[in-house]
Amino acid sequence: MLQEFKKFIAKGNVMDLAVGVIIGAAFGAIVKSLTDEVIMPVVGAIFGGADFSNHFVLLSTPDGYTGALDDYAALKEAGAAMVGYGAFVTAVINFLILAFIIFLMVRYVNKLMAAVEKKEEEAAPPPAGPSEIDLLIEIRDELKKRS
């Protein structure tokens, strides 16, 4: 079983997938930072709040909670029941940014692949047809069959 596992891990596809996952995680962190630090403050300023991800609706507070009722992090840590619509909107924007960037990357790669295939088709010599001698031999053989 160990040998089989080594063969599985050594396959190129598994290594490509591992590299893709690592790069994807790092890229996800970049997009999250872009959303949290650049996009959402602008959206928050437009909608009247500096930090849009902290917008929520408080449903109930836990017994004994004495902290501020507008502190999202403290309420969340205390286990308050709330609807964090700001965090949801932030997550949706993160997803849309990632999806759009992946779309652009796939589109670019497809264009590159099409260009490479076109160059290969142009560079390939045209299929060789039969030579004059082959045609003459074929005609001779056909005439022999008919006579």
DSSP per residue, 68-87:
-TT-HHHHHHHT-EEE-HHH
Average pLDDT of span 111-124: 85
Q: Does the pLDDT of residue 5 top 90, yes or no?
A: no
Q: Does the pLDDT of residue 125 top 80, yes or no?
A: no
Please report the pLDDT score of residue 12 as a whole number: 65
Average pLDDT of span 33-59: 76
Compute the distance between CA of residue 62 and CA of residue 77 in angstroms, rounded to an integer: 10
Give the residue with greater pLDDT, 42 vs 61.
61
- Tens digit of each residue's pLDDT (9 = 90 or more) over 63-105: 888 888 888 888 888 888 999 888 888 788 878 888 888 888 8
Give the residue with greater pLDDT, 142 vs 13.
142
Q: Output the average pLDDT for the chain.
A: 83
CA 104 to each of CA 82, 94, 134: distance values in angstroms, whole numbers, following the listed order: 37, 16, 52
- Tens digit of each residue's pLDDT (9 = 90 or more) over 8-30: 777 767 777 888 889 888 888 88
Helical H segments across the chain, by residue range? 2-10, 12-34, 40-46, 72-78, 85-123, 132-146
